[in-house]
């Protein structure tokens, strides 16, 4: 069981809708979660309680341009450039680290997780030297089907990208629809229908925001992002039938990260893009919790013997 609490998070002059899922018993670990493109944190109301039931407190927020952080139509997809996007993530992580300091005994270890676009943001921040001190305070990093590269046939055409960038310099806030087919997200028909009917999944970006997303993806897929030893542990979870994010590109990214000693790749055969809402969701949630608790270093584990980490070490 878990208690869900709504709140807000402020960074600079922006205010974000935020939510926390807290275990009824002891807190063994804390998890900051970064959502993906055209979604919001209340899409995870069934998933996060599964983590909280095993002692993991989850913190998340609707990013700029998404969910309940949007207060008017002109703000849909208005994420801003990459430095602003990553700065928001870093500020949220700092806030949750600070909230756990100063109590009796060591605070529960904090982990950071990102899905899809959020996974790309998490990896971008973890590889940015200006955040090295902050990254060093995070116990582990988890990416669920991260947008490191597009699946074959889903790559935007070079002409479309060039035209978008050209217009984007003049009209950065110009909105543009980018529809990810709901049937590509999950094999569960109920999930597909709920995404299709969710007014907060608005499939709207801005030329500046979409260009920044493409730039981050290019940096990740080209090998220009290298994680240092301050990244203590890294878990990649990916569906083999993902039609949105490339599993091969994500694996290649992991293989290049020689600076990370503890890295694990877990694949889910036949699974689509949203592992947390696909037919493998129970297996995925169990694997995720086991991986986290195995890295709690006895910190907040309350004497529970952690299960072996899932998947294969790279």
CA separation for the pair 114, 144 (Å, rounded): 6
CA separation for the pair 144, 232 (Å, rounded): 18
C-beta separation of 69 from 261 below 8 A: no
C-beta separation of 221 from 128 below 8 A: no
Tell me how crowded residue 170 is: count the other CB atoms within 10 A of its CB. 8
Q: Give me the residue label for tokens 């020689």.
A: 258
CA separation for the pair 167, 170 (Å, rounded): 5
Convert 254-289 to b/e letters by CB count within 10 Å (16 or more is b).
beebeebeebbbbbbeebbbbbbbbbbbeebbebbb
Entry pTM? 0.92
Phi, psi of 144 (to 5 degrees): -105, 110
pLDDT tens-digit map of 216-274: 999 999 999 999 999 999 999 999 999 999 999 999 999 999 999 999 999 999 999 99
Q: How far is it between the farthest Cα atoms of the chain?
A: 59
Would you list the DSSP string of 206-241? Answer: EHHHHHHHHHHHHHHHTT-----TT--EEEEEEETT
Whether 138 shows a pLDDT value over 70: the answer reads yes
pLDDT tens-digit map of 195-217: 999 999 999 999 999 999 999 99
pLDDT tens-digit map of 95-113: 999 986 656 778 999 999 9
- H or E segment and range at residue 265: strand 262-268
């Amino acid at each position: 069981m878990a208690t869900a609490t709504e709140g807000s998070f402020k960074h600079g002059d922006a205010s974000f809708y935020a939510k926390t899922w807290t275990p009824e018993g002891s807190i063994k670990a804390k998890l900051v979660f970064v959502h993906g493109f055209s979604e919001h944190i209340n899409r995870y109301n069934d998933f996060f309680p599964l983590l909280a039931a095993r002692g993991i407190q989850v913190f998340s927020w609707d990013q700029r341009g998404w969910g309940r952080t949007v207060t008017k139509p002109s703000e849909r997809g208005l994420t801003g450039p990459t430095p602003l996007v990553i700065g928001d993530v870093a500020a949220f992580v700092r806030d949750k680290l600070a909230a756990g300091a100063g109590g009796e005994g060591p605070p529960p270890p904090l982990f950071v997780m990102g899905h899809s676009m959020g996974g790309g943001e998490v990896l971008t921040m973890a590889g940015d030297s200006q955040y090295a001190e902050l990254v060093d305070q995070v116990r582990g990093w988890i990416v669920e089907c991260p947008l490191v590269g597009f699946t074959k046939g889903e790559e935007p055409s070079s002409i479309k990208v060039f035209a978008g960038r050209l217009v984007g310099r003049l009209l950065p806030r110009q909105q543009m629809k980018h529809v990810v087919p709901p049937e590509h997200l999950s094999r569960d028909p109920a999930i597909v229908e709920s995404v299709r009917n969710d007014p907060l999944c608005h499939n709207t970006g801005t030329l500046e925001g979409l260009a920044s997303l493409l730039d981050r993806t290019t940096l990740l897929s080209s090998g220009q992002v290298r994680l240092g030893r301050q990244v203590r542990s890294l878990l990649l979870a990916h569906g083999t039938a993902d039609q949105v994010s490339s599993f091969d590109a994500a694996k290649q990214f992991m293989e290049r990260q020689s600076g990370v000693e503890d890295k694990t790749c877990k694949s889910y055969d036949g699974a689509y893009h949203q592992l947390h809402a696909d037919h493998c969701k129970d297996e995925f949630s169990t694997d995720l919790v086991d991986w986290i608790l195995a890295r709690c270093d006895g910190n907040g584990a309350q004497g529970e013997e952690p299960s072996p980490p899932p998947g294969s070490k790279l």
